[in-house]
Structure 1
Amino acid sequence: MLLSLALIFMVGYLLAAVFKKLRLPELIGYLLSGMILGPYGMNVLDASLLDIGGDIKQIALLIILTQAGLSLELDDFKKMGSKAVFMSFVPACFEITATFFLSKWLFNFNTIDALLLGTIIASASPAVIVPKMLKLMKEGYGVKKGVPQLVLTGASVDDVFNIVLFTSVLGFQANSGVSAMDFVMIPVTILLGIGLGIVMGFAVSYVFKRINTSIQIKTILVLSIGFVLLTVEPLVANYLPFSALIAVMAMGVTLLKTYPEDAKAISHQLSRLWVGAQVLLFALVGAAVNLGYASKAGYLAIIMLVLALVVRSIGVMVCVSRSDFTRKEKIFAAIAGTPKATVQAAIGGIPLAMGLPNGEMILAISVIAILFTAPVGAILIDLTYKKFLTHDI
């Protein structure tokens, strides 16, 4: 495993440097490193590393979502108002609907498989979007109107909404029926996550104000709480369903409000951890990409993804239609939600593993979604944010 880690970091950083010279997103280099070294490339990565890939992805997501929470002021939420709530699910619903009908038309999917594909594809990638929006906030682009904050919050909650919906549709497949309670539990899961995160945030703030220890130890404690929440979530899902990732974000927001000194220092520590975590995250996503599956979906998958993203953009425009955003700011909000990677890599293969009729094609389309939207979306964000957003600092 040690050699595999060394190869990932060396090849990843080397390719990232090449793409940086070409003025392209470094994450493309990290993705390619996983594809080259992974089981569908040179196959030199240790199987034990790939076996714990899911845990590593969760750790990386935990780092960026904790950092996101620690960077979001409550005043930002007040500014965003109902837009933040609508951005959390409306664009996803638009994209799920578009993917549902397009997959039935282009690939002749049955109803359940079309719904599953919709919930997989509709997830924006916090692994791409959150670091980009944090960078914009740090540089002061669009901050006064809350454009990057809105995109960041929407992308993070959007994933939870889609994953819960995906799980519900899998239940429909198993039970051959639809329960209204399955839909009711989606907002319940999110709200319970927010509530638990607020409670944990106050508790952490109380403890930190009364203990004298280094900020490094406090950072480890915050991450450890996140690990506990991620572990407990599936254990209590039947009688206390909550989203651990939402809870982690809410905890960060609460800590920033109640103890801003430590919150900002912890966020700085996490930004250092992210330097290494992002390489592992995207390399392992790349290692999961099977180009053989991708080739089977062909150009029809690209057509479907483009059309679905157009429909998603309409959903974003609906969410910000009554805001004080300029036309360019609204367009940027739509562009910023296009990258996909983490969720597609994590759950894209589940329908195939379950033996569903179109499982192989669902995985193929998920792979193409990663290869197409992650680099293209990241490039578009980098090319447009200085032109479309005001520089407030």
Structure 2
Amino acid sequence: MLQDILLILGFGYFGGEFARRLKIPPLIAMIFAGIILGNQVTNLLSNDILQSADDLRVIAVVIILMKAGLGLDRQKLKSQGSVALRLGVLPALGEAIAVSILAVIFLDFDWVTGLLLGCILGAESPAVIVPGMLRLKSLGWGVKKGIPDAILTGSALSDVLLLLIFSLLMGLLTSDGNSLEWQWLPLQFSGQIIGGVVIGWLASKSLVWLIVKQKLTQNILQETMVTGCLALFLVIMSEKYHFFSGYLAVMSTGFFLIEFSSPLARCLRNGFDSLWQVAQIFLFVLLGATIPLNVLGSSFTKGLIIIIFGTLIGRMAGWYLSTWKSNWNQKEKLFLLAGNSAKATVQAAIASIPLAQGIRGGEEILAIAALSILVTAPLGAWAIPTFAPLLLTKGEVDPTKVSVDDHVILLSAIDDSPLTTPVLKKTAEIARRSNAKVIVLHIIDDSQNNNLENLKEKINTLLADINHQVLIVEGVITEEILRVSQEFQVKEIIMGKRGHKNWHELLIGSVSQTVLESSPIPVIIVEH
């Protein structure tokens, strides 16, 4: 499998980066990389890796749901009232019903099989929606009203509901019909939700006890590994004991960790962000490799009509009812079309089950599910960041609830005095902790005889492992420090209390004092 892993990571990563530079969502390139590598085009991937695709997808979904939980904001969800809950029920049911009606008309399905297709198509993709919503939160779009949080929570609840109905319908279609007990559906749905939340609460308490109180781990990597193993254990147990939703339990674990230990949640957020960089490649490449292209042809037109009208009629009706009498304006309601329609992981996981069980229409179900992935996953990944600035209002980002994609830049203002070495050492210390880039600023004028070569050599020695840029300018010291800090949007200024030798003519510390009083960003003063 080493060759398979190399092909998946190589084609997936470089394809994704190529797409990113073309301003195309990377997952599109990853899906097409999987199609090319799969057994329907080049057949470069072995059957072993393809047979393991479902298990690898589960791992990827666990990672993305933990990221979602660690990014939820309790206050924003509370302010939304019942909107998030309604988003978890009404759009999914609306689409499922609309699809079932269309399937009866266009595919000559019976009502039960049509509803089975509706459950498959109505499920939302955490692999597309979660990164998209977390990205919006990191940029501030819609955060004032908690729109990304409501979509994240609603998406998780809707998948739980449709998977429950799907399992009931499969029981009916593969037995004598006595297993379909609709009267128990509300109780089962409520039980799965309550069980998932309670198990998530217990899991988060256990993690805090093990990691924070017992200090079982020593670094972020170990904390992420322990948390990831527990999350995967929850999913495995939920498949054996059906009284709770494992995926909801994973998401709840991340949510409660923010409440119980914000420092641990912040560390885990960074750890799972790193894991997702690799997991998403496997998820989308293997998704592309397992899409049955050979069965798409005969159902393409009818399938496309079902997908489009199921979304435009059923899902939009659900969106309208979900946001009725809420504080969402018309533009924000319209954003749901872009932010809440993508399908990928759930369809890939369950669409082949009806065919494997010998249910009539199984091939059409599999083909239309594959078509929904090819159409809505790339479209959703593109539409979320494209329409958010047009339809949502930008608010203040809460860095305690989401990872902020922000490159730290430090400004180190130096001269040729003995303070240069301690200033550079302090700069290097801070830069290593925050993985920051450093702008080294040296200010000269015509009256000075600066030994720039020795200064540059000292900078390169002390900042050898730091991404840095040396900037030599002429002008008034305080003015240039403030100008450069604003131009490069630096996060901190590091400087000596007594700077350039000409500063000695001024009051001791007057330059650093002026910068401290004038700078809108933090200033670190280094003394002998």
Q: Answer yes or no: same fold by TM over 0.5.
A: yes
Contact preservation (8 Å) 2:91, 2:318: yes
Contact preservation (8 Å) 1:352, 1:358: yes
**Residue number in structure 1 paired with 2:484:** none
Q: Kindly provide the CA deviation profile for residues 11-63 of structure 1, in whole angstroms up to 9, marking residues without a partner as x.
A: 11232233223322110001001111012221110211111111110110000
Q: Does 1:315 align with 2:318?
A: yes
1:293-332 residue pairs with structure 2 within 5 A? 293-310=295-312, 311-332=314-335
Contact preservation (8 Å) 1:147, 1:333: no
Q: Does 1:187 align with 2:190?
A: yes
**Residue number in structure 1 paired with 2:200:** 197
Contact preservation (8 Å) 1:71, 1:264: no
Deviation, structure 1 residue 103: 0.4
Contact preservation (8 Å) 2:123, 2:159: yes
**Cα root mean square deviation, aligned:** 1.3
Contact preservation (8 Å) 1:165, 1:186: no
Contact preservation (8 Å) 1:67, 1:270: yes
**Residue number in structure 2 paired with 1:221:** 226
Deviation, structure 1 residue 154: 1.2
Contact preservation (8 Å) 2:73, 2:149: no
**Residue number in structure 1 paired with 2:134:** 134
Deviation, structure 1 residue 183: 4.6
Contact preservation (8 Å) 2:123, 2:158: yes
Q: Does 1:390 align with 2:393?
A: yes
Contact preservation (8 Å) 2:332, 2:391: yes
Structure with more of its chain in strand, by fraction: 2
Rounded to whole Å, the distance in 2 between the matches of 1:227 and 1:304 is 35
Contact preservation (8 Å) 1:317, 1:334: no
Letter of the structure 2 residue corresponding to residue 108 of structure 1? D
Deviation, structure 1 residue 186: 2.0
Rounded to whole Å, the distance in 1 between the matches of 2:192 and 2:244 is 4
1:275 to 257, 274, 277: 277
2:355 to 348, 352, 357: 352
Deviation, structure 1 residue 335: 2.1
Contact preservation (8 Å) 2:212, 2:264: no
Deviation, structure 1 residue 330: 1.0
Deviation, structure 1 residue 382: 2.3
Rounded to whole Å, the distance in 1 between the matches of 2:108 and 2:139 is 46
Rounded to whole Å, the distance in 1 between the matches of 2:322 and 2:354 is 31
Contact preservation (8 Å) 2:64, 2:130: yes
**Residue number in structure 1 paired with 2:94:** 94
Q: Which moved more, 1:45-54 or 1:126-135?
A: 45-54
**Residue number in structure 2 paired with 1:176:** 177
**Residue number in structure 2 paired with 1:263:** 265
Rounded to whole Å, the distance in 1 between the matches of 2:36 and 2:374 is 14
Greater C-alpha Rg:
2
SS state at 1:167 partner: helix
Deviation, structure 1 residue 259: 0.3
Q: Which moved more, 1:220-229 or 1:177-186?
A: 177-186
Q: Segments of 4+ in structure 1 off by > 6 A?
A: none
Q: Kindly provide the CA deviation profile for residues 62-118 of structure 1, in whole angstroms up to 9, marking residues without a partner as x.
A: 001011111112212211221111111110000011001000001110122111101
Structure with more of its chain in helix, by fraction: 1
Rounded to whole Å, the distance in 2 between the matches of 1:157 and 1:182 is 14
Rounded to whole Å, the distance in 2 between the matches of 1:175 and 1:258 is 48
Rounded to whole Å, the distance in 2 between the matches of 1:270 and 1:358 is 39
Contact preservation (8 Å) 1:348, 1:362: yes
Deviation, structure 1 residue 191: 1.5
Rounded to whole Å, the distance in 2 between the matches of 1:22 and 1:215 is 34
Q: Kindly provide the CA deviation profile for residues 166-185 of structure 1, in whole angstroms up to 9, marking residues without a partner as x.
A: 11111122241431224531
Rounded to whole Å, the distance in 2 between the matches of 1:105 and 1:228 is 43
Q: Kindly provide the CA deviation profile for residues 117-147 of structure 1, in whole angstroms up to 9, marking residues without a partner as x.
A: 0110001100001001011101111111111
Rounded to whole Å, the distance in 2 between the matches of 1:168 and 1:359 is 17
**Residue number in structure 2 paired with 1:165:** 165
What TM-score comes out, normalization by structure 2 length? 0.72
**Residue number in structure 1 paired with 2:245:** 243
Higher relative contact order (CA 8 A, sep 6+): 1
Q: Kindly provide the CA deviation profile for residues 342-389 of structure 1, in whole angstroms up to 9, marking residues without a partner as x.
A: 111111111111111111111111111111111112222122011111
Count of aligned positions: 390
Deviation, structure 1 residue 319: 0.6
**Residue number in structure 1 paired with 2:103:** 103
Rounded to whole Å, the distance in 2 between the matches of 1:345 and 1:229 is 21
Letter of the structure 1 residue corresponding to residue 238 of structure 2? E
Contact preservation (8 Å) 1:92, 1:162: yes
SS state at 1:339 partner: coil
Deviation, structure 1 residue 334: 3.1
1:233 to 218, 221, 238: 238
Letter of the structure 2 residue corresponding to residue 368 of structure 1? L
